[in-house]
A and B are shown apart, each in its own frame.
Chain A
Amino acid sequence: MTASATTRQRAYNVERIVGLVGGLIFAVSAFFPWAYGHEALDDMAYFGSPSPLQWFAVVMALALINCLAASLLEPTLNNSTGFLKLLGRISKRFGWIRGARALAIGMLAYAVLAILAVALELNGLVNLEMGAWVALVGAGIAFGSSMMLPTGRAPFLERIPSYPVLEIATIALLLMGMLFASAYALSQEDGGTFLMVLVFIGALAGFAIGSGFGSWVATAGRRHRTVLVSSAFLVAFLFPFTQNGSDANMSIATQVLIFAATAVGLNIVVGLAGLLDLGYIAFLGAGAFTAAVLSESAFATINWHPPFIVVMLLSGCISATLGLIIGSPTLRVSGDYLAIVTLAFGEIFRITMNNLDGSSGPNLVHGSSGIPAIPNLNFFGFDFGQSHVVAGIELGRFANYFFLMLVIMSIIILVFTRLNHSRIGRGWVAIREDERAAEAMGVNVFGLKLLAFAGGAFLAGFAGAVKAHVDVSVVPDQYVFLESAFLLAAIVLGGMGTVMGVLLGATLLKLVPEKLRFMSDYRMLIFGLLMVVMMRFRPEGIIPNQRRALEFHVDDEELVEDVEERLPYEFVEFEEVPA
């Protein structure tokens, strides 16, 4: 080792120690009061007795200290022998600094958010106590020093051969943790508290991904796909049981699922086949109107009430037919035109529904009043409108629909992943990348495009049929262009072409506005800005499809290398990796 290299190493050690001190300050600040009043956030006005939010701060700080300490001790460990040497070798596989950075960013955001929330909720910065400022300083120090540290090599934890038991247990534990975390986050009434819990979870996720633990879990998940999928489903299934009979969050959760199911359907069209559909909400609407018209509502106009399974299939088929009608002439024209034609189609749908009221057209849906009072579903005597007590826990109306949507969601996800990995899916990707080349290679371009369009429409119609019953009334104004834009945003935000990404995007877009009602006036402004910023800096979304990410960053050689390095063999599929 040359002298200069040694000095550089030492210089970084100083930053590591400074970062450690920053983390320590942050941790200690949690034991001091942050706010003067008890009303702000979750009552941070005590000395020596942190509130849950303050405990989260301690957790983040400890994780940061762990990261920095490990990176500090690593050279020493490597130079020693025996057990310590082994520890060092394990430690080498972690991306400690990357993890520390994520944590430090999270801590800073956490402190700033806490200060803003307290100032807003108690009217003024004077209501902040010493602790909050100390936390800000600590987070600032940790942030500054971790930013100065070199990130070093990428973590390669996933290459560790592992025991299946350990992997499965970790997956189960993680998902269980997710269940508790989401139940906890949702139980927060206060918008500021909710946001801070989100930041905390985000920081931990960033830490996990940065330090390499995330990719280890991802590898484990790929190895034990069935376990992962079934336990994820189980966790979602258990979610209503954490709500203690309250419908308030279940109503949001059910709507998130409906929205997400529709978005996954749209993802086939946009994410896989690369066809920009700006009128997709019309297919959801077509499904909902079909179900409403065939329901037993007193306002229904068709006196035929088949069982719900039939209605659902019919809704899907009608949506798919509409998809074929709009798709067959327009899919031959270039992509930009398609976007506009679908947008126009969305408008045509809305106006037509408004006009089918008996005066401007046949009375099918009562025009803009729509069809209200749609009764609850009833499967073989199981009334979806009634509360049921299972294992001592009351499950309300929305919980019933939640379970139904869960089943539908899993069907849609199954369809999506199977299609994605099939010949058809590869055909779509080929079309998306280069239509000419795909055609030359014998891909039936028009047929596959049409299939994507109609298939996506079918799934939306499916979801729409349930939506009609969940919402109780179906009105044309629910199916406007803005909703199509929101669906598209869920895909763009979460990540094109991945199921996990869409689920995340849909959850964020539906849940956050509900929890942050106090700033709902600025919701659309933020939404617009977010779209522009995302496209500029991370067009592939939060959880991207690797191949898709490459398309957006052709010039980014590091990413290309990174992706190639991760590929155990050629042409492996990375779409389904949950982060």
Chain B
Amino acid sequence: MTFLDPLINGLSLGSLYALIAVGYTVVYGIVQLINFAHGEIFMVGAFGALSTWIVLGQASANLSWWMLPLMLVGGMVVGVTVAVLMERFAYRPLRHAPRLAPLITAIGISVFLQEFVRLFYGAIPGFPDAKAAVVFPQIEFFTGPAIEFGGAVIQRATFFTLGALAVSWAFLWFFVNKTKIGRAMLATSQDPDTARLMGIDVNRIITIAFAVGAALAAIAGTAHGLRYGNIDFKMGFLAGLKAFTAAVLGGIGNINGAVVGGLVLGVVESLATVYVPGQFGGAAWKDVWAFVLLIIVLVFRPQGIMGAKVVDRA
């Protein structure tokens, strides 16, 4: 095994974290809200993609490469819908409530979405029971045999995940910096009140922030399904927690920070599995090291690796 193997594994895992972390960061940057339920959007997005395949491809066992864009769109539609509804009906009424209220709401939504999928996904005729892990369609083009490259093994799904992250990142850069809506988002994040005075519909901007985050989380959900071959109703909890860690690591509120943080976290986890010696090494402790890293960063560099807007919300 070369050093490359764990590095690539880490980047692959990290790019999933990064895709989810962007959602935390975009929303936090604008409303200073930790959307705790964002991990569930990742889960719901994956189930949306799976549903799309069940409706469109399952009958003919269609696993051609062009199924994937359809599944991505399906996942994004479901993820964005849930996120927008969540923002409208659960978070918006609480915008001026004390900090505790939206956090508790988020926990509630998170539990509710998990249970909803667990209990009712299988009740739809033709859909598999979601009480345990559900098999995700394996599209040969993206999940076929691994490619050996200079002694390192790279799985095809890794290319897809990294590629999806690169495209999303480029798109986000363009969206935020070059479009009118993106600049409105920047303005709102800097000063919502002035932005409102300038004629920006802040509510709309917030909804868009939720939608953008959800779309990326749905992509991550689909990538997760391809990479690991199965999805389940509780996959959002730990992934969401790790992604939040990544967002804080990079500097919450900073989109580039979220991407860098995600990749760093993935690599750290992967390298810790391999290179921490003795009893405290191995996969059993990798989550502990990831969270310890979070605490260390918060203590010594609360603004994160890339630096964040200083927000005082104590």
Contacts and interface: CB of A to CB of B under 8 A. Distances in A.
A539 interface: yes
B243 to A, nearest CB: 11
B109 interface: yes
Given A351-B285, A528-B115, A530-B108, A539 B97 contact: yes
Nearest to A328: B299
A43 interface: no
Interface in A510-554: 521-522, 524-525, 527-532, 535-536, 539, 551-552, 554
B111 A527 contact: yes
A373 to B, nearest CB: 26
B94 A340 contact: no
B103 to A, nearest CB: 6
B279 A531 contact: no
A532 B109 contact: yes
B302 A532 contact: no
Contact of A528 (B98, B109, B284): B109
Interface stretch (B157-165, B206-214, B288-296): B288-296
A276 to B, nearest CB: 6
B282 interface: yes
A329 B299 contact: yes
Interface stretch (B64-72, B186-194, B306-314): B306-314
Interface string B170-195: 00000000000000000000000000
B284 A532 contact: no
B197 interface: no
Interface residues of B, number: 49
A337 B284 contact: no
B298 interface: yes
A348 B292 contact: yes
A322 to B, nearest CB: 13
Contact of A535 (B101, B241, B288): B101
A360 B284 contact: yes
Interface string B215-227: 0000000000000
A42 interface: no
Contact of A337 (B108, B110, B302): B302
A529 B108 contact: yes
B249 to A, nearest CB: 11
Given A329-B295, A336-B313, A361-B280, A531 B99 contact: no
A352 B291 CA distance: 12
B93 interface: yes
Contact of A340 (B34, B111, B288): B34
Contacts of B103: 276, 336, 339
A44 interface: no
A336 B34 contact: yes
A435 B279 CA distance: 43
A330 B313 contact: no
B81 to A, nearest CB: 17
B4 interface: no
Main secondary structure, interface of A, reads helix
A474 interface: no
Contacts of A270: 100
B167 to A, nearest CB: 29
Given A330-B298, A525-B112, A539-B101, A344 B93 contact: no
B282 to A, nearest CB: 7
A535 B34 contact: no
A312 to B, nearest CB: 28
A551 B101 CA distance: 11
A334 B312 contact: yes
A354 B100 CA distance: 31
Contacts of A341: 294-295, 298
A347 interface: yes
A135 interface: no
Contacts of B90: 532, 535-536
A419 to B, nearest CB: 20
A362 interface: yes
Contacts of B97: 535, 539, 552
A355 interface: yes
Contact of A329 (B101, B288, B298): B298
17 contacts: A270-B100, A276-B103, A333-B302, A334-B314, A335-B314, A340-B244, A340-B248, A347-B291, A351-B284, A355-B288, A360-B284, A525-B116, A528-B109, A531-B111, A532-B109, A535-B102, A536-B105
Interface of A: 270, 274, 276, 278, 326, 329-330, 332-337, 339-341, 343-345, 347-348, 351-352, 354-355, 359-362, 435-436, 481-482, 485, 488, 492, 521-522, 524-525, 527-532, 535-536, 539, 551-552, 554
Q: Which 5 A-B pairs have the closest CB atoms?
A: A531-B108, A528-B112, A528-B111, A344-B291, A525-B115
